[in-house]
Amino acid sequence: GGIVSATSAWLLLRSGLFSDVTNLQIILALSSVALCIVPFIIYHLVSAVPSEELHGYEAGYKLQKIRHKAHKDEKQSVMNSMLSGLFMLFKYPYVMGIFGMSFFFELISQALKVENIIFGKTASHSLSEFTAFLLWQALLVHIVAFIVVVFGTRALISYLGERRSLLVIPAATGLSMIAFVLRPSYSSAIFAFVVTRSVNYAFAAPLRESLYIPTVKEVQFKSKSWIDGVGTKFSKTCASSFNMYTDGLVGSALLGVQTVFFGAVISLWFLVAYALGLRFEKALKRNEVIGSGEVL
């Protein structure tokens, strides 16, 4: 889907048949129609898949049934329900680790995205050309991610296991950032962006979702909403602050700041990924449900 939509939009922009405004209006209209179809697809999937096949992790499913029978899942006030996810985020290091995996990726991605936009604006002469530049990158990301998903994701995770697979994410991101920082250019920026995004879509995102398997429902839904919503915005704010700080720096000064910043982020990312992988494997081995304090 990403490949088809990005290719179609890129071809439209490169054709030169319409003005910049008309091109964007066409893309926006078609995107809106596609989004309107999504609820029907979700409804079909929910209707087609038997409910007994949706419970996933057996220990978590058993705990949920026990809680339901014991009436532990009593209704909470709206405020308590909203804050319970945030409370569990700070209470359980494992959940904070999941936040860290998302935070570090978004931090690197957004900092790199600004560099890409700068290179794109410099190389473009019109709005359509600039948009086509961004879509071309998105197309490359989807193509690489598709290849990785088809030939590599499942094989790598099966071969390496969850813990080592988590370490691949900061490793691949770190290597691409080294290439960009040492030789900042149009090509290295695109390379780093494509590698970072492709690894996220094809590898990191499925792994992050699997980390929620040995957790209680409160973590899977309430804490996750804080991580995906507020946490993502927080990481983008931090990345924007870094970009504002480095604005105007050139040469060795810029290289030094970027080296320290990206080096520190990647190093912390490695530590979080390693600890998170160990905790995940331990939870599965003990048949533990993180967030409940119970082993089933």
Domain residue ranges of the chain, discontinuous segments joined by +: 1-54, 57-295
- Give me the average pLDDT of each 10-residue run along the chain (296 residues): 83 84 89 90 83 62 61 58 79 91 90 82 82 86 86 80 88 89 82 88 86 86 85 86 81 84 92 92 86 58
Q: Which pLDDT score, from 0 to 100, does residue 118 have? A: 80
Q: How far from 240 is each of 48, 115, 120, 225, 247, CA to CA, in Å?
A: 43, 11, 18, 22, 10
Q: What is the pLDDT of residue 285?
A: 86
pTM (2 d.p.): 0.80
At residue 71, the pLDDT reads: 57
pLDDT of 295 reads: 46
Q: Would you mind telling me the total number of residues written for the chain in this entry?
A: 296
The answer as to CATH 1.20.1250.20 being correct for domain 57-295 is yes
